Amino acid sequence: MSVNNILLFFIVCGFAGACVLGGSVVGHSVGKVGLFAGAIIGGIAGVALAVWATTRLGVLDRRNFLATLLGGVGGFIVAALITVTNLSGPLIPMASVALIGLGAVIGKMLSEKRAG
């Protein structure tokens, strides 16, 4: 795994995790539905922001932007499903954030493989 993929993983996990937390805190003021809606909006925005930032920093090529974004959002969806079914403790929800970064890296790798 390249250094850029490792950086991409950590940047996407960090941005998405922070935005999920921020979105759920803001949404919580509206109620339980707001908490989940805020987390979902925050997570998708966090992935998009992270992928944009990695492109600007030169960690990610522009041609891989869309595939990386879709991979990150796919990883977020899987992470959200796992988290919602395991809310009894903090460990699994925190660990599932890694799936977001993993999805972004897989999306990038698939894009590079397709480009040849």
Question: Tens digit of pLDDT for each residue in 6-50?
Answer: 999 999 999 999 999 999 999 999 999 999 999 999 999 999 999
Q: Which two tokens stand for residue 67?
A: 């595939």
Q: Which long-range contacts (CB under 8 A, 24 or more apart) does 90-99 make?
A: 97/13, 97/16, 97/17, 97/20, 98/9, 98/13, 99/75
For 83-112, write each residue's pLDDT tens digit: 989 888 889 988 999 999 999 999 999 999
Is the pLDDT score of 116 beyond 80?
Answer: no
The whole-number pLDDT of residue 1 equals: 73
